[in-house]
Structure 1
Amino acid sequence: MTSSPARRLVVVGAGPGGYEAALAGAAAGLAVTLIERGKLGGTCLNWGCIPTKHLLATTLAVETLAAQAKQKLASGTVTPDLAAIQAKKKKLLAATHSAMAATLQKAGIRLVTANLAGVSTGVAHTAAGSETEDIPFDSLILALGSRAASFPGVKPDGQAVLGVAPVLDFTEAPESLVIVGAGAIGLEIATIFHRLGAKVTLVDAAPRLAPAEDPDVAKVVAQVMRRQGIDARPGVKVESLVTENGRARLTLAGGEVVTADKALVAIGRFAATVVPGLAECGATFADTAPNRAWLATDAALQTAPDIYAVGDCNGRVLLAHAAASQGVYAARHAAGLEKGPYAPGPIPGCYYGSPEIMRVGAVAAPGDTISEAAFVANPIAQAHADTAGFARVLWKDGKVAGITAVGHGASTMATLATVLVSQAWTREQAEALVFPHPGLDETVKAALLGEMKTKA
């Protein structure tokens, strides 16, 4: 008696969403083909999450020494070697690429290095140079990622006005850097190059820094940046950003001009969903603007029958761990192992600049019930001479509905906060939990047990 052939799963994109989808599909017994036009790991590994964290870690000593020197507890200088830092980064990324490729091979996944040229019913069309291949599928998972946003008058020109990727590859820090965009990317890169000695000017049209976060978080970020000497300007519109005489020239609304050696455009992300034939297969789009459309998905992350969209390209949550979670679910759903709707629970988000920011669940609005605690009372924050910030708990019907923190090491609290929010803890549960002392998490405990009040 012969067994039926395995169902065929084709995954497009080897970033966090596609990579995890391919492995989950193989583990579920599917015959998996993974199509990737460039490097394994996508934006996160190659031009985003991992390079920025490497640069933040390798420059941290500058800020640590400055904080202790301000307390008159230490003296001296720290001079990061940016060329050496970049060389180490390349080695780490190369090792990760090799490890990922080996894992795919061990799982029996076929890796095709090619562009997705189009889609038709049951077939993914690929092209690699003059070579083409039609790859049949029973299920298709699109993990197309996203691309850096730009607008007329504010876009990289490849000269002094740059996108994130070339800035993260600098082997020598510019003397001055203008950053347009004060979201996670802009704030983290501002921290990196301030530590490297650049004069940093950060502007954003939004009324506050970290505009997606609690307004009180933005106040702490502004306070810390002002203390560090970063010229951060929220609520400022940009008229144009161009290269002039080899330098970046930023013209603000009202006519003020700021010049710098280099400029970074970090104003968000657009979808990367221009795939011939996709609409004809039944895919729908959440935004019909040309070259910007997010793929609309149903409760099972499908954008068309047997076609899933995961990660950035569906516009739900533009975070690597969200993409990975969606990819695993989609592969298991394609294999028949998941029957219910995709319901991941609260997804944590972190900023890793200075100060760090962490948020899980809802952000408190005026009139909501909150409790909070300041980092200034935390022994670990005190020891690091870095006490700005707070942790805040949002309560709904006596249960934890959201936790936000900004300050020293706030990102390290994200897993604990995710558990508390996902399980909707009560104050009584928090009282019964023993926290280690001393520890940064004690600020979360203090916030959980703090006085309940109404947010103004």
Structure 2
Amino acid sequence: MADTYDLIVLGSGPGGYVAAIRAAQLGLKVAIVERERLGGICLNWGCIPTKALLRTSEIYHYMQNASAYGLSASNVAFDLEKVVERSRKVAGQLNSGVTGLMKKNKITVIEGVGKLTAKGKLTVTTGDKKTDLEAGNIIIATGARARDLPFAKADGKRIWTYRHAMVPPEMPTKLLVIGSGAIGVEFASFYNDMGAEVTIVEMMDRILPVEDAEVSDFMAKALTKQKIKILASTGVSKIETSDTGVKATIKAKDGTLSEQEFSHVIVAVGIVPNVENIGLEDVGVEPDKRYHIKTDEYGRTNVDGIYAIGDVTGPPWLAHKASHEGVIAAEKIAGYAGVHPMNKGNIPGCTYSRPQVASVGMTEAQAKEAGHELKVGKFPFIGNGKAIALGEAEGFVKTVFDAKTGELLGAHMVGAEVTELIQGYVVARQLETTETDLMQTVFAHPTLSEMMHESVLGAYGRAIHF
């Protein structure tokens, strides 16, 4: 006889485990199925351990530039094995935390590979053992994996995905990063600060192509100043590996081919949803043309009682988006009166490079394309006392408003700690505040957040300090 639950969650990443917890809080009997480690890719091989690595490279950068702060540091060096070990310990600590949360909320954790066999039914395979489960509702939260280049399959030796790049067996000397989204730029920043010679290749005409054009331009200049080589409107057509390195054939915008040699390559050209072998075809769940599972604003698929959340459903591929979708789906299943649909326009995006990048809402170009008449404000870090005191005077804050209504259409930041600052604008959009509300808000001094205020003032010709 099958074990029966109110809800089964397939996958325990930041979408899956959060959905399970919220459902349990609402009184449902919940099981979660995981084939690897609780916390999924984000916690174990993505968001968290990469930030641990980036923190190390940030401190290493400051140590090498101690004289700028009136300090001295000699014989500055690092132990790559210990750098990686710290990152893995951070991930392990949080994995244990999720395990504790499952116990606290009385969620049954089932280790193994889950597959839908019929509506409301799922079989988990653990070695030679099979366990049949039944539930009134199932949430698919299987996530995604790194996309391989057809001519450059990751081997973990010379050609790396993000997963290999987090546990490098050796320090690259000359690194090629293919792709300049958040993952590519973060790893480029990390390895550059740790001493590697880094080249970024991007097929689009600018790096971080989903960001506002001014942010992309600023980042290109900032990374170039750090001696990262950026090749935009460029592709890689061939990669040959050897025991000692990699030979890449790079195709420029004009079609010119050149061969360049590197010690290692990181492929960061997007992700592929994990939809294979989970039984979607057996129950009739429909994917879109890119094989992501189609859902409505509550996470419901075309099959009654089956929901999907997170990376498996498509962009934006962000942990916090997955978590929020998990809460929405759980509340919808439980019949919670306060459940609200997802508004993807209020999901912030963050890149934890040096400098950092953060944004929410429309870019200036998107707002113009949507037909808005705009008021745009921009305030530089150099005009902020706290930024100067920190020695982080490069960057800016940009705000985009509808000129007629005062609606905050978008906010875009580049500079130190902007991944923390962006939440202020996220809250502002969620609460539908206008330019007047933001202008009348008091910001503490001295803080970096004062630039957020000044940017709003600047959009209406009222900036005080610039």
TM-score normalised per structure 2: 0.90
Cα offsets for 1:199-257 (capped at 9, x unmatched): 11111111101011011111111111111111121211110123134312211112212
CA RMSD of aligned residues (A): 2.1
Structure 1 residue runs of 4 or more that deviate by more than 3 Å after TM superposition: 65-69, 71-78, 338-341
**Corresponding pairs, count:** 444
Q: 1:145 to 1:114 in 2, by over 3 A?
A: same
Query: Are the equivalent residues in 1 in contact too, given 2:205–2:233 (CA < 8 A)?
Result: yes
Question: Which SS does the other structure have where 2:15 is aligned?
Answer: helix
Mapped partners of 2:65, 2:209: distance in 1: 27
Question: Which SS does the other structure have where 1:137 is aligned?
Answer: strand
What is the match of residue 431 of structure 1? 439
Aligned residue runs from structure 1 range 206-245, under 5 A = 206-245=204-243
How far apart are residue 185 of structure 1 and its match? 0.5
Mapped partners of 1:429, 1:368: distance in 2: 18
Mapped partners of 2:396, 2:66: distance in 1: 21
How far apart are residue 65 of structure 1 and its match? 4.3
Matching residue's letter, 1:328? V
Query: Are the equivalent residues in 2 in contact too, given 1:119–1:275 (CA < 8 A)?
Result: no
Matching residue's letter, 2:326? G
Q: Which of 94, 111, 123 is the matching residue for 1:96?
A: 94
Matching residue's letter, 2:143? G
Mapped partners of 1:67, 1:448: distance in 2: 34
Mapped partners of 1:407, 1:54: distance in 2: 19
Query: Which has the higher mean CA deviation after the structures are superposed, 318-327 or 395-404?
Result: 395-404
Matching residue's letter, 2:425? A
Matching residue's letter, 1:258? Q
Cα offsets for 1:171-223 (capped at 9, x unmatched): 54221211111110111111111111111111111110101101111111111
What is the match of residue 448 of structure 1? 456
Mapped partners of 2:244, 2:337: distance in 1: 55
Mapped partners of 2:420, 2:11: distance in 1: 29
2:372 is the counterpart of 1:372: no
Matching residue's letter, 1:210? L
Query: Which has the higher mean CA deviation after the structures are superposed, 93-102 or 315-324?
Result: 93-102
Mapped partners of 1:171, 1:381: distance in 2: 37
Question: Which SS does the other structure have where 1:158 is aligned?
Answer: coil
Question: Which SS does the other structure have where 2:401 is aligned?
Answer: strand
Q: Which of 259, 262, 285 is the matching residue for 1:257?
A: 259
Mapped partners of 1:276, 1:313: distance in 2: 12
How far apart are residue 72 of structure 1 and its match? 8.2
Matching residue's letter, 1:115? V
2:365 is the counterpart of 1:334: no
Matching residue's letter, 1:55? L
Mapped partners of 1:65, 1:125: distance in 2: 53
What is the match of residue 430 of structure 2? 422
Query: Which has the higher mean CA deviation after the structures are superposed, 229-238 or 139-148?
Result: 229-238
Mapped partners of 2:69, 2:400: distance in 1: 38
What is the match of residue 19 of structure 2? 21
2:405 is the counterpart of 1:405: no
Mapped partners of 2:337, 2:77: distance in 1: 52
Mapped partners of 1:411, 1:98: distance in 2: 26
What is the match of residue 357 of structure 1? 357
How far apart are residue 386 of structure 1 and its match? 2.6
Cα offsets for 1:6-47 (capped at 9, x unmatched): 962000001000000111111111111100000111111111
How far apart are residue 154 of structure 1 and its match? 3.5
Q: 1:98 to 1:68 in 2, by over 3 A?
A: closer
How far apart are residue 402 of structure 1 and its match? 1.1
Aligned residue runs from structure 1 range 27-176, under 5 A = 27-65=25-63, 69=67, 73-77=70-74, 78-170=76-168, 172-176=170-174
Q: Structure 1 unaligned segments of length 5 or more: list them.
A: none
Question: Which SS does the other structure have where 2:19 is aligned?
Answer: helix
Question: Which SS does the other structure have where 2:346 is aligned?
Answer: coil
Q: Percent identity?
A: 30
Mapped partners of 1:341, 1:443: distance in 2: 32
Matching residue's letter, 1:152? P
Cα offsets for 1:41-83 (capped at 9, x unmatched): 11111111111100111121232345564x5855545323322
Q: 1:154 to 1:381 in 2, by over 3 A?
A: farther
Mapped partners of 2:387, 2:240: distance in 1: 41
Query: Are the equivalent residues in 1 in contact too, given 2:124–2:132 (CA < 8 A)?
Result: yes
Query: Are the equivalent residues in 2 in contact too, given 1:6–1:30 (CA < 8 A)?
Result: no
Matching residue's letter, 2:206? R
Question: Which SS does the other structure have where 1:16 is aligned?
Answer: coil
Question: Which SS does the other structure have where 1:240 is aligned?
Answer: strand
Mapped partners of 2:97, 2:455: distance in 1: 41
